[in-house]
Structure 1
Amino acid sequence: MTVTSTAPAAVLRTARIPGDGIYEGPRVLRRLPAGWEERPYELFEVVPQARTIGAEIRGVDLARPLTPALRAELDRALLEWKVLFFRAQHLTSGRQRAFARNWGELETNPLLATGAGADVVRFAKGGDATPTFENVWHTDVTFRERPALGAVLQLREVPPSGGDTLWADMAAAYDNLPREVRERVDGARAVHDFIPGFARFYGPERLAPFQEVFPPVEHPVVRVHPATGRRTLFVNASFTTRITGLDRDESDRLLRLLFQQAHVPEYQVRFRWQPGDVAFWDNRATQHYAVNDYGSHRRVAERVAVVGDRPF
């Protein structure tokens, strides 16, 4: 008679990591919307800088007026790559504004220092300059009813090292949310307010007069891009204060999870500036992060922004 022994089933000890956060592992990295017709560019060279976001554009002089054909092709590149880089343009403020106006009316921001005009924001950093929007992932001016469509930023002075800017693809961030999280945020709305972002570097006396100018506004947590139809995660750590209809603890927990998604390296592109470089980004599809790692060295940038639409 043969006796067979059965080994006990393997048992693992109980162990878990917190479920709310950035998970590790493979991700879906889809640069273009489903069904999008990808065509070659005929008027300039496109040099990709990352998998889904960021491309250097070569062969375009932004100081010259855009022809309709060039404007259309640059617009397609913006939609497909979300942020475009142009090296050594050295634009005057007037030329920078003229380029941005190809995409619409320029916005002003009374909360920030200005350059050659009210629609030119000037960021002069280093030494004892007031720190502003650095070291935080954010989407520009989501506290407005119509947040900016996009922005054109030029570096006029660059520190000897550091001072890079990163952008994150928030369509990729949405695509990779766990299914149960997507089900919670699709159709949800969130409140945006200018105070948390600006209170990092301005006091109540400076901000109080603008409370009626910029009352809190609601936007969808997931907006639909008006040109591509992509669903993009549209909350950020500078301006989004709570999710409508949730109690404070639940809202805070979900927002922390959503804010973290911009930190995933696979969704990012990082740009090392040289003087005269220009970046043009789609504010509807991205967040960005200016790195303040240059100590007392000077970093001077000027930005013009294009008025956007009401998110839906």
Structure 2
Amino acid sequence: MQIKPLIGALGAELLDIDISAPLPPDTLAAVRRALFDYQVIVFRDQKLTLDQHKQFARQFGPLHVHPYILAKPLDGHPEVLRVVKEKDDRRVFGEKWHSDVTFLERPVLGSVLYAIETPSKGGDTLFANMYMAYETLSDGMKAMLEPLTAIHETPVPEVDPATGRPLEPMRLVNKRGEHPVLFTHPETGRKLLYLNTTYVTHFKGMTPEESRPLIDYLCEHATQAAFTCRVRWAPGTVTFWDNRSTQHLPINDYHGERREMHRVTIET
């Protein structure tokens, strides 16, 4: 296996590796190390069945079943989230910068996204490095943020984010998690900035109105270009990201073409 960094901030391609079969212990350890070193790792030209996709992910931990009613799993595979934008859809699933399911009480380890069908151009995903977001804050800002806890909640939309049509009836039950804004990664021991505009509604002990200006500032700071990498997809591309130390953004620039991905998420 060879490692080819994508860019300075984060991300790497792992070459000469087939993830369709169980990995030998030394290779598995090297992949896990690369995940935490680079935060986003990309495998090209893979051919995975649904069971092989789940098998690869299970080598890193138990699989998560998504609680969000709009996120539709595949029949018979509740752990596999089907992420589809049809050619006539105007919006994409997860269309703002976010980390996955941070409203859970216990943050998930990461997600493994497998490209089934991709547009002829566009449809890339941006990832941002939350270690860098923390490390570049001033000492005064770090001191102010140290005691803060962010409240993460599921948004309750009035319309389907893919079609723009009203949801009726609303079947989404709100979930809520509380996490320190300055989070210590359990694997690396490094501090990072842990919040996002998709799920964070306010800081504990503060109102949403009081919290919003600081949330917006921190999220804008965290996703500046110098902290990001860009993953270009093709059928057979697999991207595995550390969900605790990154945010990601799918780019909606391929209207008129279809994109289908399958996502598996790993619990800690």
Q: TM-score, normalization: structure 2?
A: 0.92
Tell me, yes or no, if structure 1 residue 75 matches structure 2 residue 42. no
Counterpart pick for 1:108 among 65, 70, 90: 65
Q: CA deviation at 1:183?
A: 1.1
Q: Which residue of 1 aligns with 2:173?
A: 210
Tell me which moved more, 173-182 or 284-293.
173-182
Q: Which residue of 1 aligns with 2:21?
A: 64
Any conservation in 2 of the 1:134–1:291 contact (CA below 8 Å)?
no
Tell me, yes or no, if structure 1 residue 141 matches structure 2 residue 101. yes
Q: TM-score, normalization: structure 1?
A: 0.79
RMSD over equivalenced CA pairs, Å: 1.9
Tell me, yes or no, if structure 1 residue 181 matches structure 2 residue 141. yes
Q: Which residue of 2 aligns with 1:32?
A: none
One-letter amino acid of the structure 2 residue matched with residue 304 of structure 1: V
One-letter amino acid of the structure 2 residue matched with residue 287 of structure 1: Q
Give unmatched runs, 5+ long, in structure 2: none
Tell me which moved more, 155-164 or 132-141.
132-141
Tell me which moved more, 184-193 or 54-63.
184-193
Any conservation in 2 of the 1:197–1:239 contact (CA below 8 Å)?
no
Taking structure 1 as reference, are residues 132 and 108 closer, same or farther at Cα in structure 2, changes over 3 Å only?
farther
One-letter amino acid of the structure 2 residue matched with residue 140 of structure 1: D
Q: CA deviation at 1:127?
A: 2.8
Give the share of equivalent positions with the same residue, in percent.
37
Taking structure 1 as reference, are residues 209 and 155 closer, same or farther at Cα in structure 2, changes over 3 Å only?
closer
How far apart in 2 are the matches of 1:233 and 1:253? Answer: 16
One-letter amino acid of the structure 2 residue matched with residue 71 of structure 1: L
Q: Which residue of 1 aligns with 2:183?
A: 223
Tell me which moved more, 174-183 or 153-162.
174-183
Any conservation in 1 of the 2:79–2:264 contact (CA below 8 Å)?
yes
Counterpart pick for 1:271 among 210, 216, 231: 231
Equivalent residue pairs, number: 262
Q: Which residue of 2 aligns with 1:53?
A: 10
Q: Secondary structure at the match of 2:53?
A: helix
Q: Which residue of 2 aligns with 1:5?
A: none
Give unmatched runs, 5+ long, in structure 1: 1-43
Runs of 4+ in 1 over 6 A off after TM superposition: 197-200
Higher radius of gyration, 1 or 2 = 1
Counterpart pick for 2:255 among 271, 295, 309: 295
Counterpart pick for 1:170 among 109, 115, 130: 130
